[in-house]
Structure 1
Amino acid sequence: MTTQTVKVWRKKSKTIENQSLQNLQRRFALGTVLVPTIGFVAAIALLWFTGISSVEIGLFLGMYIITVGATEVGFHRHFAHRSFEAKPAVRAILAILGSMAGQGPVIYWAATHRHHHQHSDLPEDPHSPYIHEGKQLGWWHGLWHSHIGWFFSSKMTNAVFFAKDLIQDPLIVKISQLYLVWIIIGLAIPAVLGGVITWTWMGALKGLLWGGFVRMFVGQHATWSIGSVAHIWGNRAFDTREHSRNNFLLTIPTLGGGWHNNHHAFPNSAIAGLEWWQIDPTGWAIQALEKLGLAWDVKRPTQRLINARKKNPSESSVDL
């Protein structure tokens, strides 16, 4: 196979057939899952000896809202779906803060998510709870695969195919390359703040655990639940081609990502809460950026289009 042929194959293939890179991705995925889990267990164990104060709670909530918010606003709705445009400084901040959530570099995240949408709940979907590489998945196996197992069993998504626009942006490429740096900074910030606020080493340790590892652990599983839980349990306001569901219980921890059936019905919409009662903090944040002139071309479906696509336009029950 010539070099030119390899280049063409890489551009056209949706996944990368390279065992070395696959093994590297699996080792990276193991660290992504394992390190926050160890930190979470350590924080829970320390509770028995030192308890928890408002400092740790504040650091957890503050860092959680910032990083998970940047993941949903930036990684998901902006970079993956291009639901709005933003100035380079805003894009950089969203990419950096989203990286601190510990869910992978921005280009990898966006490419994988686009891959999921193109083949949602079909054999090529990286994390469907129903089918994987042509094999039907049982209930428990499907839940495990779609939540965590896919990190270790799915083929590596080709970012050149799915995220060419991001690869052509030097700023985003650089931020993506510095992913581990942002992770370290995201852990250092709550540790330093915890130490400064309490003026103790224990305060720094607890800041690291709660504002760092626990925050990362909870945020990861909240986001991953959208690809697993929200494809199994919940209501379907729209008859989309896959099994996405609106799950109200996931709305708060994902800052609006729980309206998953809405999202699959209108994937390019910056607003996921399509009804007045559907809480969507991420949509509110994007609208705030729009009013401040920091975001524009904010995509949202018209009420007429929403009504036309509903399974039952007269249905007004609250989704669970």
Structure 2
Amino acid sequence: MSRLLRWDGSEMDMLTETFIRSMRLLFSTWTKHAAVLVGGTLIVKGSKHAPKVSKWLILGSVASYGWRVFASHAGGHRYFAHMSFKTTKLFELLLAMTVQVSASNENIVYWINFHEFHHQACETEDDIHTPWRMGFWAVQLQDSSANLVTTQEGLERLFRTDLLQFRYLNDLVWLRNRQLEIKACEHLFWLLCGKDVFFWGCLVPNVLHFHAIRLTNSAAHLWGYRPYVAQFQSECKATNNWWVAIFNGGEGWHNNHHAFMGSAKHGFMWWEFDWVYFGLLILGKLGVVWDIKVPTQEVLEARYKGSSKRDLGIKRLYRLECESAESKRKLTAQPAAWLL
């Protein structure tokens, strides 16, 4: 087992390392999976110790899940990894903290520093989550991305990257170093609301979010259609998968994303509903986000692989969608003064 490292590259003392590993286990994805499995079994058996089931608890669970998906994909993915829109410092911090407590354990540093490497090395031996090399279940159950920044190689790559801009450094180092404390505060909050709220508001959404976020790299690289040539790697097998998009906030339109990774919008056709992008448009109206990036007509057509009459018709639909998104972007060009 490799030793945990501090941000300066030095090794932790054994007591500190043991404590951190214990806390990571306590807050780990698999602990939550076990808790949900036990709670679900008690519910099915009708045990008096089982978490209560009500429409309000289930609605709250859906809302908690929806926010986690939005924060991970609008925040971690489209903002921190690809800078596809701009936002205020307050909302940036809110997104970052939500990502830090997510069950996926993919912290902000992962999104900023390592995610683009997936685009560059997609489906190659260097890709850290390709189902074509590793298999579906290995990617779907993978929980190692957070460890990338605890190794010496990860730390060295982090600090020499151009992606880690100076304006992020202090805040992100603080968030990363305080990840366990932030997770502890989140769990304490839910526990103070009662065991039923803790189960439905924290545990269940965390487990669902863990699997939803991984479907993008597993199912959406195996099943679906591929209208575009990807950036960086033309061999990339990312697909547009409708059922992944439903659960994952529009991230299932993954071929679109690999072709236009800087776009805040992943769904271009009318049937490619992207509810994370829809949420960004609403926030744009409120002045919380602005300068939302979408691809131009010329860029869309340049990367489209089709050439038949039917394909040309699809091109026109893509163009209309793009023009509509571009006009909406112009309406969100300035932030709200009260949020600056």
Residue in 2 that maps onto 1:196: none
Residue in 2 that maps onto 1:232: 222
Q: 1:223 to 1:161 in 2, by over 3 A?
A: farther
Do 1:245 and 1:259's aligned partners in 2 also have CA atoms closer than 8 Å? yes
Residue in 2 that maps onto 1:215: 205
Q: 1:190 to 1:30 in 2, by over 3 A?
A: closer
Greater shift after overlay, 41-50 or 164-173? 164-173
Residue in 1 that maps onto 2:67: 66
The residue identity in structure 2 corresponding to 1:114 is E
Distance 2:110 2:262 in 1: 19
Residue in 1 that maps onto 2:32: 36
* Consecutive unaligned residues in structure 1, runs of 5 or more: 1-9, 11-15, 132-136, 194-203
Alignment of 1:144-223 (within 5 A): 144-149=137-142, 151=144, 157=154, 158-162=157-161, 163-165=163-165, 168-193=168-193, 204-223=194-213
Scaled by the length of structure 2, what TM-score is found?
Answer: 0.73
Residue in 2 that maps onto 1:127: 129
Scaled by the length of structure 1, what TM-score is found?
Answer: 0.77
Q: 1:259 to 1:166 in 2, by over 3 A?
A: farther
Alignment of 1:25-104 (within 5 A): 28=24, 32-48=28-44, 49=46, 50=50, 52-104=53-105
Do 1:64 and 1:215's aligned partners in 2 also have CA atoms closer than 8 Å? yes
Greater shift after overlay, 68-77 or 277-286? 277-286
Tell me the secondary structure at the aligned position of residue 247 of structure 2. coil
Residue in 1 that maps onto 2:331: none
Q: 1:259 to 1:174 in 2, by over 3 A?
A: same
Deviation per residue, 1:133-162 (Å, 9 max, x gap): xxxx5xxxx21332234728x965443345
Do 1:43 and 1:214's aligned partners in 2 also have CA atoms closer than 8 Å? no
Distance 2:143 2:198 in 1: 28
Deviation per residue, 1:244-266 (Å, 9 max, x gap): 01110011211111110000000
Distance 2:143 2:97 in 1: 25
Residue in 2 that maps onto 1:4: none
Greater shift after overlay, 167-176 or 223-232? 167-176
- 1:283 aligned to 272, 277, 285, which one? 277
- 2:251 aligned to 235, 248, 257, which one? 257
Do 1:95 and 1:106's aligned partners in 2 also have CA atoms closer than 8 Å? yes
The residue identity in structure 1 corresponding to 2:98 is L
Number of equivalent positions = 281
Distance 1:233 1:102 in 2: 25
Do 1:40 and 1:209's aligned partners in 2 also have CA atoms closer than 8 Å? yes
The residue identity in structure 2 corresponding to 1:88 is K
Deviation at 1:282, TM superposition (A): 0.8
Tell me the secondary structure at the aligned position of residue 52 of structure 1. coil
Distance 1:180 1:124 in 2: 29
Alignment of 1:295-310 (within 5 A): 295-310=289-304
Distance 1:186 1:31 in 2: 10
Tell me the secondary structure at the aligned position of residue 227 of structure 1. coil
Greater shift after overlay, 286-295 or 209-218? 286-295
Do 2:29 and 2:104's aligned partners in 1 also have CA atoms closer than 8 Å? no
Distance 2:190 2:175 in 1: 21
The residue identity in structure 2 corresponding to 1:176 is R
Deviation per residue, 1:105-144 (Å, 9 max, x gap): 211343232221221111111111223xxxxx5xxxx213
Do 1:99 and 1:179's aligned partners in 2 also have CA atoms closer than 8 Å? yes
Distance 2:139 2:125 in 1: 13
Residue in 1 that maps onto 2:117: 115
Residue in 1 that maps onto 2:305: 311
- 1:293 aligned to 250, 273, 287, which one? 287
Tell me the secondary structure at the aligned position of residue 130 of structure 1. helix
Distance 1:254 1:81 in 2: 18
- 1:274 aligned to 268, 271, 274, which one? 268
User: What is the root-mean-square deviation in Å for CA atoms of aligned residues?
Assistant: 3.1
The residue identity in structure 2 corresponding to 1:81 is H
Deviation at 1:40, TM superposition (A): 1.6
Q: Structure 1 runs of 4+ off > 6 angstroms?
A: 23-27
Q: 1:256 to 1:269 in 2, by over 3 A?
A: same
Deviation per residue, 1:169-204 (Å, 9 max, x gap): 3223322322223323333444444xxxxxxxxxx2
Deviation at 1:168, TM superposition (A): 4.4
Percent identity over the alignment is 27
Do 2:86 and 2:289's aligned partners in 1 also have CA atoms closer than 8 Å? yes
